[in-house]
Amino acid sequence: MPTAHNRSQRTTEAMEGLKERCGWCKGSELYENYHDREWGRPVRDERKMFEFLLLETFQAGLSWITVLKKREAFRAVFHQFEITKVANMTEKEIQDALQNADIIRHEAKIRAAITNAQCVLALHGRGTTLVDFFWSYVDGMPIRNAWKELNEIPAKTDLAVQLSKDLKALGFKFIGPTVVYAHMQATGMVNDHLTSCPYYEVGMP
């Protein structure tokens, strides 16, 4: 199995080959850094997994760059994405969040973040974790696609539809198939970098 050093070396070699990043991230340093350092890299840490899930529920109906620009404010409001602390947020904290112009002030989504944290704790009570739950849908290994053009990449898949259905059955909110697929892309469960992107090989076994 390639080491992290070897994967990094492969990425560097690809960069030196003057390949271009996926087109969706162009024009913003924040977006490019996110694409290069996070998007599509397999996430095995539960707090990080929950962070992406929380942020993606707030993205619904908005652009991802809008959420990224407010990421640090979300981090402050939602206790550094510590699941137990989010699950136990008080009504006062909810009302304070609704007055915080640095985040997306959507009451249903704020309450959904708390509900979803409680659902994660319920998973713990069943002997599993959010990470294990998500990765079980791909047998623990990223799905490797081979898209050549951005317009080939789907907004959702049959697997995302099923995962969304199962999450909703567990009580999760604001977790439709499009949100789920975006989560799968972000956390490296699926590799949707274009084959021409220098980061296509990142995170692959």
Q: Which residues contact 178 (CB under 8 A, 6 or more apart)?
A: 60, 155, 156, 160
The first and second tokens of residue 47, run together, are: 């707090």
Catalytic residue among 34, 82, 93, 137: 34
Whether 64 sits among the annotated catalytic residues: the reply is yes
DSSP string covering 3-36: -HHHHHHHHHHHHHTTPPPPGGGTT-HHHHHHHH
- Asked about 34 being catalytic, the answer comes back as yes
Could you say which of 24, 32, 38, 64 is catalytic?
A: 64
Cβ-proximal residues to 124 (8 Å cutoff; 6+ apart), any chain: none
Q: Is 56 a catalytic residue?
A: yes
Alpha-carbon span 123 to 119, nearest angstrom: 6
> Which residue is catalytic, options 46, 56, 147, 201?
56
Question: Which of the residues are catalytic?
Answer: 34, 56, 64
